[in-house]
Amino acid sequence: MLPGFNHNIKYRDKIFHVQTEDNGEDNPLIISHIFVGGNIIATKKTDYSNLLGKEDIASELKVIMENQHKELIKDLITGKFDSHPIVSGAEILSENKEQKEDIKTTTDPINIPKRDVQPEASRSHFKPVSSNSNFTVFGEETITEETLDKVILRFLKENK
């Protein structure tokens, strides 16, 4: 099994995570996903069972993985997934519309006592990240040699 590839791509004011991994010879698939906000918007799978047993399988797999990973990145930045509701923002618009329809209004005024409210800046214990900082998105350079399934199985076995 080869280590995978992970890249974060900023596109249309969103961070997309492109991940490619080898499932290993027990399940000979190379799987690539594009995530945004924790949701998978695209997946590509390549079966490599026909390569099992070859001497130079690792080098061939690396080329296949790189090409598949690059292909998904290219598809993303050339707009292939722009019509997806999460990418286009249609999902957010429909959620907001549903929320507005669910809100009941009343004509009776509500008396809420006034409070002395401090300005937002004085309440915050956190400093904003400067736009000039070296801030990176978590997992930007993460490379794993295990599939997510194997990591979860190992975790479950160790924590019985």
| Residue range 67-119, pLDDT digits in tens | 999 999 999 999 999 988 888 876 654 455 555 454 444 444 555 555 555 55
CB 20 within 8 A of CB 44: no
Answer yes or no: is 98 within a domain. no
Residue 107, in any domain of the structure: no
Tens-place pLDDT, residues 22-39:
999 899 999 999 999 889
- Asked if residue 115 belongs to a domain, the reply is no
Q: Which residues constitute the domain of residue 59?
A: 1-90+140-160
Nearest to 76 by CA among 17, 5, 141, 140: 17
Residue 75 belongs to some domain of the structure: yes
- Tally of domains in the chain: 1
pTM over 0.95: no
